[in-house]
Amino acid sequence: LTLCKLIETVCFQKKGRGECGQMGETDILKKWINESNYIVFFGGAGVSTESNIPDLEARTADHQEYDYPPETILSHSFYMRKPEEFYRFYRNKMLFPNAKPNRAHLALAKLEQEGKLKAVITQNNRRAAPAAGSKEVLELHGSDSATIVRAAAGLRMDDIL
């Protein structure tokens, strides 16, 4: 079971019994959620890939069209030295303006609305969790909708695309 399928199953009341009537993993998770009132979800690419956003490794595996490795291009010092090349990579490999929330995002938003989920912490810089209705979203690596880089350059998302 993928993380998205597990969350979806639990939050949208699907059956999840193991063999011989034993508690399956979905039943255990459902029990934990029902007994909890202070849940924090920590996620990453496992949720985003369900929205057809490839993980960073998949997006940057073929970076031969660039003269530098992704970890160099995504650094602040590279941005300061070569902003055009930074934005070319950022536009082609990092932005997914048409990505939509999936059922896991919706389930997490539902848990937040019920008062059980207190925050979503994500390693991704995507807008899917807020689009699903989550209010408390902490993006560990920044956000493609409010980056310091864009603010410093005075650019909007449309300028980059």
Q: What is the pLDDT of residues 14-50, one digit of tens each?
A: 554 444 456 677 788 888 888 889 989 888 777 777 7
Cα-flanking dihedrals φ and ψ of residue 118, to 5°?
A: -95, -25
63 is catalytic: no
Q: Do 7 and 108 touch, CB atoms closer than 8 A?
A: yes
Going by pLDDT thresholds of 50, 70 and 90, the confidence category of residue 144 is low
pTM (predicted TM-score): 0.67
Integer Rg of the chain from CA: 19
Rounded Cα gap, residues 152 and 154, in angstroms:
6
The pair of structure tokens assigned to 90 is 């950022």
pLDDT in tens, 72-85: 988 889 989 999 99
